[in-house]
């Protein structure tokens, strides 16, 4: 007896929603009369042209058209994974169909390794997607619009290698997202935006990356005004700047991977609890003098600069509640180069009262490093766990770039 077919429509639709692609969902209609109409009511649909040969791209487009036309119920989630140039030309029609179905989760991902034709998103995405909660765009071109309606329900926005009409459009787009909470941006080298401005009062997490192949000058950077942020991840190792226009009292986690000017970022996130700080190069003005990280309990420092001891001592001195410290050093030294270590005249408060875990990755055992270890072990009255390793935890990493570690 077919026991699965005796389940309720609700359970069967949930099962169908777990299938990887729409092609698999539609295929279930041949199982029996009980299954014949069910695929038309599945709330989550994923279209992926990877299973079609290059000569079948027209068949894939017809399959998507027919599936969306025959679908009867509202569609909550609609994802497109496209790689072949003959299919992406229909994306405008598919978006208009998504608008008509009141989609809440829309994802359009274009694989540029196999498609060189630009995919332009139509204006209907702005005018008819007021119900969207989650929008994910990869390798598409956004169309300019004189006015942008309010994305009154949008909480999650992912923009990866997207090309924009310009900087003013980006500001207006984010301004129209009145309840946006999570923003992920990865800028490509020719996206028409030099200064990416994020002014969103409701934003809770911001992950902002500039690709390593961008040509960066002093005018390229991020401007952030998001006082409600709880997570900040900035990746910009080729230069440029990052300006913080408001304090972030609710910040919990921060990943700061920059090549220049981290001082302004650090001075705005003094309430952070978990900090990953990666500086391929270090200068005396990199640290905000006078700042106190009163809530910081977990700190990871990554750098390839030999003059890193001053940075370490500054952070330790200004982090009275620190419990866990991890160092990842990838210093390429010339024979004549020698790090300068001077033991501080006073022991940082965290070593005396709170530091419990100390880890050092890629330890080389130089005289200066031995002195630093000896100082921390001698002064750390609350240490419970110490791990010092000569091997890196990420052997494939581009050491000079200090590639980002996710929190």
Q: Is the pLDDT of residue 123 over 60?
A: yes
Distance CA 136, CA 98 (A): 14
Residues in the chain: 407
Evaluate if residue 317 carries a pLDDT over 70: yes
**Element at 181 (helix H, strand E):** none
Alpha helices in 354-398 (DSSP H): 367-379
* Residues 226-232: contacts with CB under 8 Å, at least 24 apart: 226/198, 226/199, 226/200, 226/201, 227/201, 228/201, 228/202, 228/203, 228/204, 229/203, 229/204, 229/205, 230/204, 230/205, 231/204, 231/205, 231/206, 231/207, 231/407, 232/205, 232/206, 232/256, 232/265, 232/269
Residue 341 near residue 313, CB atoms below 8 Å: no
DSSP 198-240: EE-TT--EEEEEE-TTS---TT-EEEEE-TT-SEEEEEE-SS-
Q: Which range is least confidently modeled, 88-97, 251-260, 290-299, 345-354?
A: 88-97
pLDDT digits (tens, 9 = 90+) for 162-183: 999 999 999 999 999 999 999 9
Please, are residues 311 and 287 in contact by the beta-carbon 8 Å criterion?
yes
- At 289, the pLDDT band (50, 70, 90 cuts) reads confident
State the CB neighbour count (10 A cutoff) for residue 191: 22
The secondary structure element, H or E, covering residue 349 is: helix 349-353
pLDDT tens column, 128-157: 777 899 999 999 999 888 778 788 899 999
Rounded to whole angstroms, the Cα distance separating 89 from 80 reads 13
Instruction: Answer whether 279's CB lies under 8 Å from 402's CB.
Output: yes
pLDDT tier at 40, thresholds 50, 70, 90: confident
- Report pTM: 0.84
């Amino acid at each position: 007896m077919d026991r699965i077919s005796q389940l309720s429509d609700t359970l069967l639709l949930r099962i169908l929603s777990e299938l990887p692609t729409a092609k698999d969902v539609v295929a279930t209609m041949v199982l029996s009369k009980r299954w014949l109409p069910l695929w038309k009511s599945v709330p989550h649909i994923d279209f992926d042209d990877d299973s079609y040969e290059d000569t079948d791209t027209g068949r894939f487009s017809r399959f998507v058209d027919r599936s969306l036309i025959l679908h009867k119920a509202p569609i909550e989630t609609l994802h497109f994974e496209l790689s072949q140039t003959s299919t992406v030309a229909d994306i405008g029609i598919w978006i208009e169909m998504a608008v008509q179905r009141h989609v809440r989760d829309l994802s359009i991902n274009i694989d540029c390794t196999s498609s060189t034709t630009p995919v332009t998103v139509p204006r209907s995405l702005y005018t008819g997607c007021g119900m969207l909660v989650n929008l994910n765009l990869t390798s598409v071109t956004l169309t300019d619009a004189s006015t942008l309606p309010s994305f009154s329900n949008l909480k999650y926005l992912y923009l990866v290698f997207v090309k924009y009409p310009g900087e003013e459009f980006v500001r207006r787009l984010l301004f129209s997202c009145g309840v946006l909470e999570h923003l992920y941006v990865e800028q490509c080298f020719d996206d028409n935006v030099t200064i990416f401005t994020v002014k969103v009062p409701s934003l809770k997490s911001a992950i902002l990356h500039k690709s390593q192949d961008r040509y960066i000058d002093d005018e390229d950077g991020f401007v952030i005004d998001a006082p409600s942020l709880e997570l900040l991840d900035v990746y910009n190792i080729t230069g440029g700047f990052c300006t913080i226009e408001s304090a972030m009292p609710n910040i919990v986690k921060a990943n700061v991977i920059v090549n220049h000017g981290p001082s302004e970022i650090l001075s705005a996130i003094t309430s952070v609890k978990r900090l990953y700080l990666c500086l391929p190069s270090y200068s005396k003005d990199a640290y905000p003098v006078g700042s106190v990280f009163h809530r910081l309990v977990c700190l990871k420092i990554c750098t390839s600069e030999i003059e890193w001891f001053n940075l370490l001592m500054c952070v330790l001195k200004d982090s009275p509640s620190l419990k866990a410290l991890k160092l990842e050093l990838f210093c390429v030294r010339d024979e004549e180069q020698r790090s300068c270590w001077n033991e501080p005249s006073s022991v940082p408060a965290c070593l005396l009262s709170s530091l419990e875990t100390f880890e050092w990755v890629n330890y080389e055992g130089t005289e200066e490093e031995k002195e630093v270890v000896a100082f921390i072990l001698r002064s750390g009255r609350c240490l419970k766990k110490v791990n010092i390793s000569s091997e890196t935890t990420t052997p494939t990493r581009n050491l000079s770039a200090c590639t980002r570690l996710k929190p």
